[in-house]
Structure 1
Amino acid sequence: MRPLEHLVDRLRDALAGRPVRGEGRLPAGPPHRARAGAIRGGRAGLVQPDATTCGSACLVVARMLGDADYARWLETGEVAGRERDPRPRRRRFADEVLATHVRTNRWYGASGALQVAWPRALGTAPWALARELTATGGTSVPGTRHRVRAVSPRRRGEAYDEVAGAVALGHAVPLYVGNRVLPRHVVLFLGGDDAGLTAYDPATGGRTVVTRDAFDRGALGISGWSEPWFTILPAAGEAH
């Protein structure tokens, strides 16, 4: 079994509440990028450390699924050429999420380019999340441009189909959800089948299944929020 497939199997098992199979470590080496059908789960215990870091937690999980070395470090604390990180796994994840939140909200991003700063108390702006995914790649090759797509209440079904198409190609897709007035939370679509799309919810560290009908009706019911607002997708023609 390839390293990334092994990791995703462990993520899926843990999130489903099953014993984690095989505690073997992922070998060091070049990052392994997710491909079609590879993304099916998330990791139990990967809960956002505070009320403002749902978007940052989704960014970290997306990068874990796309980069086996990064996931290995967060999982075990080990990285080639360095001493083992002694922090507990949950603390390591929380600290990485908080560091990501600082990076996405300051005056310059991961690439070093200037950006509009955003108050951390207000979470992560959609365009900042897209810039971070462009820089780190998430489940795409680093440098793959990501774009923010507003979900029209009249075209929610089309937005769902667009997300489903990206997920089928192996991409993890963030979704901003909220009420009828404002977006309030971010989740990460990881995979899906004919029954619906599976999303990682950083508020709980668990997963939820969203059907096309629920998405189309604006009845998501994810951590108390029902309305889809924005998706973050790799730009057409640039996704890998």
Structure 2
Amino acid sequence: MDELTPGTLLGRQVDGVTCGPSVLVVTAVLAGSGWPGVVADRFAAAQRTAHRQANRLWPRALGTTPWGMRAWLRRHAPAAGPFRIRPATRDALAAVPAAVGPVPLLVGSRWLPRHWVLVLGVDDDGRWRVYEPGCGRVRAFDPALLRRGDPAAVGGVLGWPRPWCLLLPVGRA
């Protein structure tokens, strides 16, 4: 994942509710699950398939729940996990740099979770490399912005200003 530097194009979500499936597909590709490469039409088809699979009981128009994300990863990308759902507390966010793989992060407004992004890794300067499916690119994000409570700066990089929860990968064999 070190080759995924800020600016790298990974693929854009196909509509306003496929950020979660985009994160799922990219996580699966990085784990070597055999999903198709991130190429426009195949990526779009993979997103739609992942969205149907992750949202068996939840309306797709409402996005993808953390539980749907975790279940999909367990079924379709077992090499990426397992994952533990954690509220985005200071302690949980502080655990991101030590994660053993990509970390799906749900962000939103003060009142509602709205958008999934994927923390790909941490650079030497402490900045996170984050896949933001709205633009389809890897971005650099300074996690100190979360500690300082700078919603405009956080939203400018992650799409929304407030972290809600994350899926932390836990020990792999």
Instruction: Tell me how far apart the structure 1 counterparts of residues 159 and 167 of structure 2 sit (CA, whole Å).
Output: 21
Aligned to 1:134: 74
- Residue 67 of structure 2 aligns to which amino acid in structure 1? W
Contact 1:160 1:215 (C-alpha < 8 Å) held by counterparts: no
Q: Any runs of at least 4 consecutive aligned residues in structure 1 with deviations exceeding 4 A, and if so which? A: none
Aligned to 1:111: none
Aligned length, in residue pairs? 168
Say which of 51, 65, 74 aligns to 1:125.
Answer: 65
Unpaired runs of 5+ residues, structure 1, are: 17-42, 76-88, 107-116
Q: Deviations over 1:95-139 (max 9, x none)?
A: 110110000111xxxxxxxxxx10100000011101111222365
Q: Output the aligned Cα RMSD.
A: 2.2
- TM-score (norm. length: structure 1): 0.64
Contact 2:106 2:164 (C-alpha < 8 Å) held by counterparts: yes
Q: 1:229 to 1:217 in 2, by over 3 A?
A: farther
- Residue 113 of structure 2 aligns to which amino acid in structure 1? P
Aligned to 1:191: 121
- TM-score (norm. length: structure 2): 0.86
Q: CA deviation at 1:91?
A: 0.7
2:94 pairs with 1:161: yes
Higher RCO by CA contacts (8 Å cutoff, separation 6 or greater): 2
Higher strand share: 2
The percentage of counterpart residues that share the same residue type is 35
Map 1:47-196 → 2, pairs under 5 A: 47-67=12-32, 69-70=34-35, 73-74=36-37, 89-106=39-56, 117-137=57-77, 140=80, 144-152=81-89, 156=90, 158-166=91-99, 169=100, 171-193=101-123, 194-196=125-127
Q: Bigger CA drift: 205-214 or 171-180?
A: 205-214
Q: 1:203 to 1:227 in 2, by over 3 A?
A: same
- Residue 119 of structure 2 aligns to which amino acid in structure 1? F
Contact 1:127 1:147 (C-alpha < 8 Å) held by counterparts: no
- Residue 136 of structure 1 aligns to which amino acid in structure 2? H
Q: 1:195 to 1:163 in 2, by over 3 A?
A: closer
Greater Rg, structure 1 or structure 2? Answer: 1
Unpaired runs of 5+ residues, structure 2, are: none
Contact 2:132 2:159 (C-alpha < 8 Å) held by counterparts: no
- Residue 174 of structure 1 aligns to which amino acid in structure 2? P
Contact 1:149 1:230 (C-alpha < 8 Å) held by counterparts: yes
